Amino acid sequence: MPVVVHTRAELAGARAALTGTVAVVMTMGALHEGHETLLRAARDRADQVIVTVFVNPLQFGPNEDFDRYPRTLDVDLEVCRRAGADLVFAPSVADMYPGGEPAVRVDPGPLGTDLEGLSRPGFFHGVLTVVLKLLQLTRPDLAFFGEKDYQQLTLVRRMCRDLDVPVEVVGVPTVREPDGLALSSRNRYLSAVERTVALGLSRALRAGAEAAEAGRDAGAVLAAAHASFGAGGPGARLDYLVLTDPDLEPGPVRGPARLLVAAWVGDTRLIDNAPIRLDPAH
């Protein structure tokens, strides 16, 4: 079993006892195979693996699901044990924010108010603030993040580069159900009917990728993705479906690109994305 600590004082003691290279995998708990894949990737690269389990209130809007977010620490610890984690840090809100809500937060820059940031104001200020705090507390050599949350991964990389945080950020490809649905803790909110409707996201990405492989231009790729998203009938409300530069930089897209989608399925907001290779001739 990994060592489990709940306070920053306990963490400091347990961290000091770790030797060799250290990796961190940050999570909000409710662990699934996507998280487990991150843990195994970390296990492969580092001598010691720290997992953090913290539902961060700072990144939830007032009408979001902070209260109902699943909290399953006992099951999570079993997943951590199975995947070979060495240390689990599962702090309380009071321990992470002893002075209450922090007045000083990381500014994610212009990308922080686009896409996810447009629908979830303040989201990336909250994410980057807690990620930076957890990096300071765990002092890892490597930090693993899933490509499922592609904008988050991009912004964490950018924060570490722009603020000289001495850590290697490693992205891990999205783990999916056999039918294509990206694993996500929020999938457990879906009813059986909604679970089928949710396939519209990955179907759209697949259609876009196929159109790109067939040599279609960006407009046709997006049109194919839109048509496929809508083909599942009513039940999902599209938030955005965009084709962008792989670093999420503004401007024209050519060659390697990223297709990103977000949609509401009933009361549940889901996101997904996939790499796309456009014919550079377009």
Burial degree of 23 (CB within 10 A; 0-12, 13-18, 19+)? buried
Pairwise CA distance, residues 132 & 141, whole Å: 14
**Was 59 annotated as part of a binding site?**
yes
Question: Contact with ligand BAL (CB under 6 A): which of 49, 149, 224, 229?
Answer: 149
- Quick check: 129 binds ligand BAL (CB under 6 A)? no
- Quick check: 183 binds ligand ATP (CB under 6 A)? yes
**Was 34 annotated as part of a binding site?**
yes
Q: Which is nearer to ligand ATP, 86 or 149 (CB)?
A: 149
Among the residue ranges 34-42, 159-167, 222-230, 257-265, the one whose residues contact ligand ATP (CB under 6 A) = 34-42
Output the six-digit token pair for 223.
């049109």
- The least distance separating ligand ATP from the CB of residue 157, rounded to whole angstroms, comes to 12
Question: Contact with ligand ATP (CB under 6 A): which of 160, 175, 236, 263?
Answer: 175
27-61 in b/e form (b: 16+ CB < 10 A) is bbbbbbebbbbbbbbbbeebebbbbbbbbbbbbbe
Bridge partner list, 277: 256
- Quick check: 34 binds ligand ATP (CB under 6 A)? yes
- The least distance separating ligand BAL from the CB of residue 35, rounded to whole angstroms, comes to 10
Question: Contact with ligand ATP (CB under 6 A): which of 138, 174, 244, 273?
Answer: 174
Q: From 51, 26, 30, 63, select the one nearest 187 (Cα to Cα).
A: 30
**Which residues would be at the binding site for ligand PAF (CB under 6 A)?**
26-28, 56, 59, 127, 130-131, 149, 152
Interface residues for ligand BAL in 54-93 (CB under 6 A)?
Answer: 59
Catalytically active residues are: 35
Pairwise CA distance, residues 66 & 274, whole Å: 27
Phi, psi of 209 (to 5 degrees): -65, -40
Output the six-digit token pair for 37.
């894949």
Judged by the rule CB under 6 A, the positions of this chain that interact with ligand ATP are: 27-28, 34-35, 37-38, 145-146, 148-149, 172, 174-175, 182-186
Annotated binding site for beta-alanine: 59
